[in-house]
Amino acid sequence: MAGAFKENGLEREDRVAIFMDNSWQCVVSIWGTLMAGGVFLVINPQTKTDKLRYILSDSDAKFLIGDGHLQSVFFPAAKGVAALAAIVISGKAPETDSASVPVIPFEDFTAPRPMSGNFCGAIPLDLAALIYTSGTTGNPKGVMMTHQSMVFAVQSIAQYLRLTEEDRIINVLPLAFDYGLYQLLMCVYLGATLVLEKSFVYTASVFKKIIAHQVTVFPGVPTVYATMIAQHAKTPLLFPSITRVTNTAADLPAHFSGALREMFPAALVFRMYGLTECKRVCYLEPELIDKKPNSVGKAIPGTEVYLLSPEGKPVAPGETGILHIRGPHVMRGYWKQPELSAKMLKPGPWPGEFVLCSQDWFKIDADGDLYFIGRSDDIIKTRGEKVSPVEVENALYAIQGIREAAVIGEPDPVLGESIHAFVTLTAPGALTERDILKQCLSKLENFMTPKKITIVGDLPKTTTGKISKKDLRARLINPRRDGNEPIK
């Protein structure tokens, strides 16, 4: 494939957009791009035409590799993308002949061809990937990652997760999501085995694979664990082969621990925190999970973190500050977005060095372990008190019968902001809004108790499976048929 890229005019640092399901073809496309000296970007296959067009144009993609079943999305998106030289199509044959660039079947593009010498040409400082991530406002932005920062992150994470070549990792997360992508990268680095699933929709089929392949590592996000726990409550689930369970992307509610231990009796559970801009920030040693069930621990090996006030002053243990991250894993910036980059990357202690300002609020305890408080733009101020939505959500998650919870601040003439909680239930009718309110009042200070609780059929998610507060706020303004109806 690297040879085919060269034949078709790919030059060092040209971008290759990969728009495919989690599949071996997607994996081959990633490594083929790197071997040819290109920069890959994996785009979530759920992306719709307009956003895809934006990403293709923004990245100046020279090649697009797409799954045939997604062609009704990508052919229109590719039209007018100036830099595009060819489209490679996998699986289903093209149903249009109106593409403005040559369309090459994946089989032809990966057919053996003579290769000579090392034609990658990339050095560790070159870009390896653009990882598009949703911004708090507007369009997605491409996080620039070099070969050396990605290799560093892979080694650091593999080290603290205590992974070896004997491990078998199952990945149900999109490869477009850095958490999913790094499962692949770690397996290649270690020579370990990757069991690649398209999604976590058909849970029974995922569970069968875990057992059939004697999987040892299960990476998930809270929504995945919430789904499993709800099933486990009906019919017990048991995965004795799993020795490592990892969580990131959103805070793992402390009360999940019991059920996780029942389902994964042999597993160490890793609570982690990260952001795409540096891949991973910190993790809690799994032996500390009972002692510090709400902490996300310390910086990953080879990196450091510290908290600063908004004025840039150091923060004492126990006080809230903005998390800053220093290490070789920090991004080069956002692709073609120098102003946004400057907001996140601040000058570091040495000339030419940059420190990543996460814009997230944390606390640090006397041992140096970190506690996530909330996004800097997420903190709710009500009755003059600062309320972390995460704290309220944790209280909601601890209520039996609640499957998911999301808390936002709504403008309120008296309170400044009032707290509005949206929840989904494990079963329709499991709880009423009054039941939830009653339990909240028994767990939270008065000012932290939601003023309003809405039971919904589902919560809007980003393409990476995080609950999207932005979409939730939009629903408040424009209630829609799909999901904002209370469960009857």
Q: Which residues contact other proteins by CB under 8 A?
A: 21, 45-46, 67, 69, 72, 198-205, 223, 227, 231, 234-235, 428, 457-459, 461, 465, 482-483
HSE (side-chain half, CA atoms, 13 Å) at 314:
4
Q: How far is the CB of 72 from other proteins (least distance, A)?
A: 8
Q: How far is the CB of 459 from other proteins (least distance, A)?
A: 8
DSSP secondary structure string for all residues of 148-185: HHHHHHHHHHHHHTT--TT-EEEE-S-TTSHHHHHHHH
- Read off φ and ψ for residue 234, nearest 5 degrees: -85, -55
**Is there a contact between 140 and 51 (Cβ–Cβ < 8 Å)?**
yes
Tokens 């909680």 belong to residue: 421
Assign 263 to helix, strand or coil.
helix
Stated length of the chain: 488
For 217, the enclosing helix (H) or strand (E) is strand 217-220
Nearer to other proteins, 83 or 233 (CB): 233
Question: What ranges make up the beta strands (E) of 262-384?
Answer: 268-273, 282-283, 298-299, 304-308, 321-326, 333-334, 345-347, 354-364, 370-375, 380-382
Nearer to other proteins, 234 or 313 (CB): 234
Q: How far is the CB of 316 from other proteins (least distance, A)?
A: 42
Nearer to other proteins, 218 or 283 (CB): 218
Helix ranges (DSSP H) in 267-388? 338-344
For 73, the enclosing helix (H) or strand (E) is helix 71-78
Question: What ranges make up the beta strands (E) of 37-85?
Answer: 39-42, 61-67
Cross-strand partners of 408:
420
Q: How far is the CB of 419 from other proteins (least distance, A)?
A: 24
Tokens 């923004």 belong to residue: 58
Considering Cα of 383, then 384, then 387, then 389, what sign does the dihedral take? Answer: positive
Nearer to other proteins, 37 or 45 (CB): 45
Q: How far is the CB of 434 from other proteins (least distance, A)?
A: 24
Nearer to other proteins, 38 or 174 (CB): 174
Q: How far is the CB of 46 from other proteins (least distance, A)?
A: 6
Q: How far is the CB of 230 from other proteins (least distance, A)?
A: 9
Q: How far is the CB of 478 from other proteins (least distance, A)?
A: 15
Task: State the Cα–Cα distance between residues 117 and 51, nearest whole angstrom.
Answer: 38
Nearer to other proteins, 118 or 235 (CB): 235
Q: How far is the CB of 203 from other proteins (least distance, A)?
A: 5
Q: How far is the CB of 133 from other proteins (least distance, A)?
A: 19
Residue 297 corresponds to which tokens in the numbers above? Answer: 């621990």
Task: State the Cα–Cα distance between residues 40 and 32, nearest whole angstrom.
Answer: 9
Task: State the Cα–Cα distance between residues 320 and 300, nearest whole angstrom.
Answer: 21
Nearer to other proteins, 155 or 227 (CB): 227
